Amino acid sequence: MKNKFLYFVFAALIFAAGCGDPAPPADDTKASKPMPEAPVAKMQPEEMTIHGDTRVDNYFWMRLSDDQKKADTPDAQTQDVLDYLNAENAYKDTVLKDTEGLQQKLFDEIVGRIKQDDQSVPVKVDGYWYYTRYEEGQEYPYHCRKKESLEGEEEVMMNVNEMAEGYAYYAVGGRSVSPDNKLLAFGVDTVSRRQYTVHIKNLETGEIFDDIIPETTGGATWANDNKTLFYTKKDPVTLRSYRVYKHVIGTDASEDELVFEEADETFSCYVWKSKSKDYLMIGSYATLSSEVRFVDANNPNGEWQIIQPRERNLEYSVAHYGNDFYIVHNQDAKNFKLSKTSVNNTGKDNWETVIEHRDNVLLEGIEIFKNFLVVDERIEGLTNLRVMPWDGGDEHYLEFQDPAYTAYIAGNPEFDTEVLRYGYSSMTTPNSTYDYDMTSKERTLLKQQEVMDPNFSSDNYASERIMATAADGTKVPMSIVYRKGMQKDGSNPLLLYAYGSYGASMDPYFSSVRLSLLDRGFVYVIAHIRGGQEMGRQWYEDGKLLKKKNTFTDYVDCADHLIAEGYTSADHLYAMGGSAGGLLMGAVVNMRPELFNGVVAAVPFVDVISTMLDESIPLTTGEFDEWGNPKDEEYYHYIKSYSPYDQVEAKDYPNMLVTTGYWDSQVQYWEPAKWVAKLREVKTDDNTLLLHCNMDVGHGGASGRFERFKETAMEYAFFMMLEGIEE
């Protein structure tokens, strides 16, 4: 559903039901092939009444508990659900059968552009150079290190290919090496529910200890004694990270000491160590509030102290330097400011301003070095990196040339260095890693993503940044990329992607996968709609709670603008969004179904009312400040007015492909499954409607490096089928 950090980072990188023929190519004069009957889900009405309003859900029966899904022998309800999902998958396969050759070609193209024997840029930590590498044809990485010099002998800490043998899904999370470099803590998820079991490995002997810690977030944080580590436990039902435990190597996890419990169900918690390595930190966070506590990393049995008690509408993050904590916060500062305070006097009354609040600059984060402070800022929707010497010398910004780009602070674990490691990418520039000397201002390109296609050149593509005008006059940015030679005559197929939730900014980035669209004439556009944070904190606040509909109308206004400017037409316009972006897809096809020829809604959060009323579903309680709590009558009626599942009507809808994962912990599979079933029940068109449910994975898709692109190839082939593109 809805992971605030999806984002991340990763949400930018992913991308219901009637029977009938797929739309034929515009120039196809042959008779359409008869299509198979679409699955028809049984209707079993469930009445739900709140605030005097009754909703009838004919497909409520599709919901299964975790216990039902994991049972060796399915009960009747489980079998009915499995039968329906398998029928939908079979129908999808039949409808897309003529695209199988194209799907394979797309998959081969996408994988063929990836450097098979790739390696990350090494990062130095405590005398070792750490890196990840891949070998040709293998799905999973090798996590390696070399002592002191990159010319030294390689030590393979983990060969995930061997570890993953026999598993349909295998993910490693939260690798953490002890301060003495001898032990490795790591988490493993073999279900795709984002519940990890932590293991400990002796890097000197290769032994995996008997210490087994289940139901965690995946990571573990070492105290400085090399034997004590802290980890965060998840609630087994809601999957909320709610407890921090202390584990001592060699003891049974059942004996671990509970250090902190987050009792407020709207908050989650996590644990980490300061860059200085002096303090262990526990953070609690909700949508609108945060709280951090700390203890001396040399005294893991010491008493934890709170930096600033939680307050509603006060968010802050903490970094340590010398005798002070540096705090990025929004106290009387909508776009955040930077303050510092003594480690002995941490409350907000003692916070001393370092960087003032600015109405036109969003302060997103900092990186502290011995002689420099680096500030991550967002100005007019674009990321900027600002270097500030501690001695008061001249500060400066790094310079970037593309009209739309993303720049970010990369891994910088070393404190005493003049070099900043950062990353850069644009719609036409492959992801690049640089070292930047903050004194001489010289930058060194360490690595640029290799596109393994002899015909690829960035010069073949053009990028733009344009503005659409929303109905209320707001200017909404869009980042555009296309192959040079594109004519604005309305004939171009165009894929419009957006997310628009949680304040997650969808920055312009390069994608070698996307080239399969661009080289076939597609224009690709990212709409930076409200609900993200591209244009500052207000951009986020104007796209959430009782202003959530701005997210949807912004997207529609962007689509209208692209048509008006000749980039495409409604016959060639395609929409894509995932998770909360899938909610966006559901909302806009209810609002303006005639605007799109095809839509891919990936793991879509579409049953908003029912999910937000059910506090046993993962993530629900932590998101009342994002969507609103429908137990409040005002929020109930507002959410219902846009909730895609509740707003399905008897009218024509565009061609649609809906994807989900049976083990999804973020958006449970039954939301998209119910949505497709309801659309099949009431829609009035003969357009294609498909549901793809991957029975082995969860929210993020397949775990292998290449396997995940099979779904991407299917999505792209769906768009191309609608465009009449066969090669």
DSSP 10: B
Residue 81 φ/ψ, nearest 5 degrees: -65, -45
pLDDT at 21 over 70: no
For the ranges 10-24, 146-160, 257-271, 332-346, the lowest mean pLDDT is seen at 10-24
Amino acid, res. 157? M
Of 707, 655, 485, nearest in space to 16 by CA: 655
- Report residue 134 as tokens: 């891949």
Residues 702 and 670: beta-carbon distance below 8 Å? no
pTM above 0.85, yes or no: yes
Q: What is the pLDDT of residues 299-348, one digit of tens each?
A: 999 999 999 999 999 999 999 999 999 999 999 999 999 999 999 999 99
Per-residue pLDDT at 9 = 32
State the Cα–Cα distance between residues 169 and 699, nearest whole angstrom: 12
pLDDT at 31 over 50: no
Q: What is the pLDDT of residues 124-160, one digit of tens each?
A: 999 999 999 999 988 899 999 999 999 999 999 999 9
Of 402, 405, 432, 396, nearest in space to 534 by CA: 405
Per-residue pLDDT at 36 = 81
Per-residue pLDDT at 12 = 33
46-63 core/surface letters (b: 16 or more CB in 10 A; e: else): eeeeeeeeebebbbbbbb
Residues 718 and 96: beta-carbon distance below 8 Å? yes
Q: What is the pLDDT of residues 222-233, one digit of tens each?
A: 999 999 999 999
pLDDT at 5 over 70: no
Residues 260 and 269: beta-carbon distance below 8 Å? yes
Q: Which residue has the tokens 């690709």?
A: 524
Q: What is the pLDDT of residues 163-204, one digit of tens each?
A: 999 998 898 988 999 999 999 999 999 888 788 999 999 999
Of 482, 685, 498, nearest in space to 567 by CA: 482
Where exactly are the structural domains of the chain? 149-306, 360-451, 459-723
DSSP 272: E
State the Cα–Cα distance between residues 685 and 700, nearest whole angstrom: 31
* Share above pLDDT 70 across residues of the chain, in percent, rounded to a whole number: 94
- Report residue 361 as tokens: 């600059």
Mean pLDDT of the chain: 92
Q: DSSP secondary structure string, 100-131?
A: HHHHHHHHHHHHHTS-TT-BPPPEEETTEEEE
Q: What is the pLDDT of residues 700-715, one digit of tens each?
A: 666 677 888 999 999 9
Per-residue pLDDT at 306 = 98
Phi-psi sector, 619: left (phi>0), alpha (psi -120 to 50), beta: left
State the Cα–Cα distance between residues 163 and 642, nearest whole angstrom: 45
The residues near 485 (Cβ < 8 Å, ≥ 6 apart) are none
Which architecture does CATH list for 149-306?
A: 7 Propeller (2.130)
Of 307, 351, 346, 305, nearest in space to 332 by CA: 351
* Share above pLDDT 90 across residues of the chain, in percent, rounded to a whole number: 84
pLDDT at 274 over 60: yes
State the Cα–Cα distance between residues 679 and 651, nearest whole angstrom: 10
Dmax over CA atoms of the chain, in Å, equals 79
Q: pLDDT: is 496 or 5 the higher one? A: 496
Per-residue pLDDT at 34 = 67
For the ranges 147-156, 641-650, 664-673, the lowest mean pLDDT is seen at 664-673
The residues near 294 (Cβ < 8 Å, ≥ 6 apart) are 274, 279, 280, 281, 282, 304, 305, 307, 318
pLDDT at 370 over 50: yes
CA atoms within 13 A on the CB side of 432: 17
Element holding 84 (H helix, E strand):
helix 76-95
Confidence of residue 88 (pLDDT cuts 50, 70, 90): very high
553-584 core/surface letters (b: 16 or more CB in 10 A; e: else): bbbbbbbbbbbeeebbbeebbbbbbbbbbbbb
Dihedral sign computed on CA atoms, order 624, 627, 633, 634: positive
13: buried, middle or exposed (CB in 10 Å: 19+, 13-18, 0-12)? Answer: middle
Q: What is the pLDDT of residues 578-633, one digit of tens each?
A: 999 999 999 999 999 999 999 999 999 999 999 999 988 877 888 999 999 999 99
Top-level class of domain 459-723 = alpha beta
Rounded to 5°, angle at Cα 420 from 417 and 421: 120
Residues 121 and 433: beta-carbon distance below 8 Å? yes
What number of other Cβ atoms are within 10 A of residue 90's Cβ?
Answer: 12
User: What are the helix (H) ranges across 328-484?
Assistant: none
Could you tell me the end-to-end alpha-carbon distance of the chain, in angstroms, rounded to an integer?
Answer: 34
Q: Active-site residue numbers?
A: 579, 664, 699
Residue 352 φ/ψ, nearest 5 degrees: -110, 125
Q: Is 149-306's fold the same as 459-723's?
A: no
Of 258, 268, 259, 257, nearest in space to 295 by CA: 259
Confidence of residue 72 (pLDDT cuts 50, 70, 90): confident
**pLDDT (mean) for 391-415:** 93
Helix (H, G, I), strand (E, B) or coil at 20: coil
Residue 540 φ/ψ, nearest 5 degrees: -70, -50
- Report residue 84 as tokens: 């329906």
State the Cα–Cα distance between residues 624 and 620, nearest whole angstrom: 7
State the Cα–Cα distance between residues 532 and 207, nearest whole angstrom: 45
Q: What is the pLDDT of residues 427-444, one digit of tens each?
A: 999 999 999 999 999 999
State the Cα–Cα distance between residues 191 and 656, nearest whole angstrom: 28
Confidence of residue 22 (pLDDT cuts 50, 70, 90): very low
Residues 292 and 308: beta-carbon distance below 8 Å? yes
State the Cα–Cα distance between residues 376 and 371, nearest whole angstrom: 17
Per-residue pLDDT at 491 = 97
- Report residue 93 as tokens: 């396969």
- Pairing type for strands 290-296 and 305-306 reads antiparallel
For the ranges 14-23, 392-401, 512-521, the lowest mean pLDDT is seen at 14-23
Q: What is the pLDDT of residues 485-541, one digit of tens each?
A: 999 999 999 999 999 999 999 999 999 999 999 999 999 999 999 999 999 999 999
Residues 659 and 692: beta-carbon distance below 8 Å? yes
What number of other Cβ atoms are within 10 A of residue 517's Cβ?
Answer: 24
CA atoms within 13 A on the CB side of 545: 12
Q: What is the pLDDT of residues 93-127, one digit of tens each?
A: 999 999 999 999 999 999 999 999 999 999 999 99
State the Cα–Cα distance between residues 203 and 221, nearest whole angstrom: 17
Per-residue pLDDT at 698 = 67
Of 368, 365, 354, nearest in space to 417 by CA: 368
Element holding 197 (H helix, E strand):
strand 196-202
Per-residue pLDDT at 546 = 98
Confidence of residue 33 (pLDDT cuts 50, 70, 90): low
Per-residue pLDDT at 702 = 65
**pLDDT (mean) for 548-564:** 98
